[in-house]
Amino acid sequence: MKVQYVSITPTEKANELGCYAFTPELLASVGARYSRSNDGLDGIASKIDFNNTDKSVDSIFKMIDYGHQSIADMTPIALFIDGISQFAAYYLWTLSPTAGGQECSTRYIKISEDGLVDSETLGIQPQLRKNFDAHNKLSFECYTRALEAWTKIAEKSPELTKIPKSLLESDKEKDKKAVERMKRNFAFDRARIFLPLASSTGVMMVQSARQWATIASHLQSHFLNELNILGKNIADQMAIGAPRLLKHSGASDSQKNYIDNEYSLIKDSSSVSLWKNFKTVNRTSQVITENYLEVDDLWYDNQLIEMACKSRTNRYSPFGSIISRTGVKFCWIGISFGEIRDLNRHRTGTKFCPLIPLGFYNALEELPKYEDDSTVAIKKCAKEFNDTPDILQQMIQDDQKEYIYFTNLGHQYYFEHTTTADKFLYEMELRTGVGAHYKYAEHCKEMLNLWFNKYPCTKGLIFEGSAEPE
């Protein structure tokens, strides 16, 4: 694991124009002085002793201790985080709904077994390490075989990739490259279900020092060893740009109580029959995903909803205020962790995912009708994971909290998102676009159909499937 702080330097043009250049904390202190002065930037900056900037910063940052935490919101910090598990990356995004950033994609990059996070870092109990190693070995064997098989299927039956016919038949070099990329994505997209959550990835995030300090505190309060280490590294690197916030980044009783309470809910829920009685497909462990949509439209009729959608020209256009004021809660029961990782990064509202494995998505419905070595290999790999949801639920009951590292991107969970209708509709427009990201496109199309059933007047006004080919 490696966390690195990255400074932002002035551009050549900024230097040429003599623009101010502040450290993150000095930037925040200058901004904070706007609440106590109407002198403007030049007037405030003229009072800074650039030979002793600590004096200007200290006089402001001590106010954070008095509850003025908004000062720390004006302290931007960029961190690059390498070599953390797929789970830690997901968890980091759950704590960072407003962060800007990116993560290494399992849909574009071949993941290597060499990058597995070691069992000691993850805190795997000694008596479980043999099973842990066996799980990862099997997972990567299946991932490798499935990736090879899906690649062959894409070449043999390109119509299954759902790549637009115009691209498949084009002689343009640009389109040919796009087709090859989308075929690779097709294979990665389906093979990745076997990737274990202990495989490593990288994340880059930009957010305020206040948010980083809160995250570091949360992670260092967690019962998982990897998250403890990550929290400590984040705090150390954050302190390079915002040293005065380091004292706010340690473990806390309030964070620990919150984390323990949430885990107790998972443990209690895993024994409730509600989570165990889902329809399965072909007697495998895969559960049929169920979709639910709840819209708080108490004050609005369909005509007003239609009017709020009519003026838009593309998916980036604003909705009318009625749409943006309408609360929406939508959820899937039985969506795979691979899709959850992607949908979790939408920045609005509140997401909720009790990490109780309900099934294992096997992608068998995507196979061609014919049978050959490729289809047989994929079916054989899928069968290896049929019993894992029950095993994992038992691990939860046995209080083996590191059970999450025995899961894969194909394991299915409950996922819920609460937001407003404009953000919901934008997400559905974006996630139904052309490309190889087939499963969440399918889930989002089904969710959008629930919206159209409720508001048929908006059919044709929502820019479904308008995102560019990926």
2-80+200-269 and 273-458 share one fold: yes
CA 10 to chain centre: 31
Average pLDDT of every residue of the chain:
88
Q: Are strands 200-208 and 100-103 parallel, antiparallel or unpaired?
A: antiparallel
Query: CB of 360 within 8 A of CB of 410?
Result: yes
For the chain, give every domain's residue range: 2-80+200-269, 273-458
Query: CB of 95 within 8 A of CB of 262?
Result: no
In the predicted model, is pLDDT for residue 279 greater than 90? no
Q: What span, in angstroms and rounded, lies between the C-alpha atoms of 140 and 120?
A: 20
Task: Estimate the crossing angle of helix 438-454 against helix 173-191, to 10 degrees.
Answer: 90
Query: CB of 462 within 8 A of CB of 313?
Result: no
pLDDT computed for residue 69 by the predictor:
62
CB atoms within 10 A of CB 80: 15
Q: Comparing C-alpha atoms, which of 337, 333, 215 is closest to residue 275?
A: 333
Q: End-to-end distance of the chain based on CA atoms, in angstroms?
A: 30
* DSSP SS3 for 145: helix
pLDDT computed for residue 66 by the predictor:
39
Q: What span, in angstroms and rounded, lies between the C-alpha atoms of 56 and 72?
A: 15
Q: Where are the beta strands (DSSP E) in 265-395?
A: 290-296, 327-336, 350-352, 359-360
Confidence of residue 347 (pLDDT cuts 50, 70, 90): confident
* Tens of pLDDT, residues 282-341: 667 888 899 999 999 877 778 888 999 998 998 889 999 999 999 999 999 999 999 999
Q: What span, in angstroms and rounded, lies between the C-alpha atoms of 111 and 116?
A: 9
pLDDT computed for residue 369 by the predictor:
93
Confidence of residue 64 (pLDDT cuts 50, 70, 90): very low
Query: CB of 412 within 8 A of CB of 358?
Result: yes
Asked whether the CA dihedral 324, 329, 335, 336 is positive or negative, the reply is positive
* Tens of pLDDT, residues 197-236: 999 999 999 999 889 999 999 999 999 999 999 999 999 9
Q: How open is the CA angle 424-191-293, to the nearest 5 degrees?
A: 20
CATH architecture of 273-458: 2-Layer Sandwich (3.30)
For 186, phi and psi rounded to 5 degrees? -55, -45
How far is the CA of 400 from the CAs of 134, 139, 148, 223, 433, in angstroms?
A: 17, 20, 34, 11, 40
Q: Which residue has the tokens 């996630």?
A: 431
pLDDT computed for residue 468 by the predictor:
65
Query: CB of 250 within 8 A of CB of 235?
Result: yes
Q: How open is the CA angle 360-365-368, to the nearest 5 degrees?
A: 140
> Which two tokens mark 295?
């819209």
pLDDT computed for residue 273 by the predictor:
52
Write down the H helix ranges in 128-277.
Answer: 129-156, 165-168, 173-191, 209-220, 225-241, 253-269
> Which two tokens mark 150?
């899906």
CB atoms within 10 A of CB 278: 17
* Tens of pLDDT, residues 179-206: 888 889 899 999 999 999 999 999 999 9
* DSSP SS3 for 37: coil
Under 8 Å CB-to-CB from 369, ≥6 apart: which residues? none
Q: Comparing C-alpha atoms, which of 469, 416, 405, 332 is closest to residue 116?
A: 405
Q: What span, in angstroms and rounded, lies between the C-alpha atoms of 35 and 466?
A: 44
DSSP letter at 221?
A: T
In the predicted model, is pLDDT for residue 272 greater than 60? no
Least confident among 59-63, 105-109, 437-441, 455-459: 59-63
pLDDT computed for residue 65 by the predictor:
46
Yes or no: domain 2-80+200-269 corresponds to CATH 3.30.1360: yes
Confidence of residue 414 (pLDDT cuts 50, 70, 90): very high
CB atoms within 10 A of CB 389: 24
Average pLDDT of 77-91?
95
* 435 backbone φψ class: left, alpha, beta (φ>0; ψ -120 to 50): left
How far is the CA of 42 from the CAs of 8, 72, 256, in angstroms?
A: 22, 22, 45
